[in-house]
Amino acid sequence: MPYRERLQPWVLVRLLPKMQNIRVARFRSRSDAEGHLLAYRRLMPNDQFIVIFDPVLPIEHQLKTH
């Protein structure tokens, strides 16, 4: 994952049918993500959006396959 994405752990996600989703944008702060969430809900009231925290673990903490 690029360094820029590691600095932006809050993700705005659009939920789609059949358990699919689209990552709309990434944010540094939760309040920025929630502000955009409110705007998207007003612009597209029939769609579902959520904010998630998607931290990036350093490589040494990720699971390794042997």
User: Model confidence over 36-45: pLDDT tens digits?
Assistant: 999 999 999 9
d(CA 38, CA 26): 15
Distances (CA, A) of 35 to 12, 30, 39, 41, 58: 10, 9, 7, 10, 29
For residue 14, the enclosing domain spans 3-56
Is 64 within a domain? no
The count of domains in the chain is 1
Q: How far is CA 41 from the centre of its chain?
A: 15
Model pTM score: 0.78
pLDDT at 7: 84
Cβ-in-10-Å burial (0-12, 13-18, 19+) of 60 comes to exposed
Is 61 within a domain? no
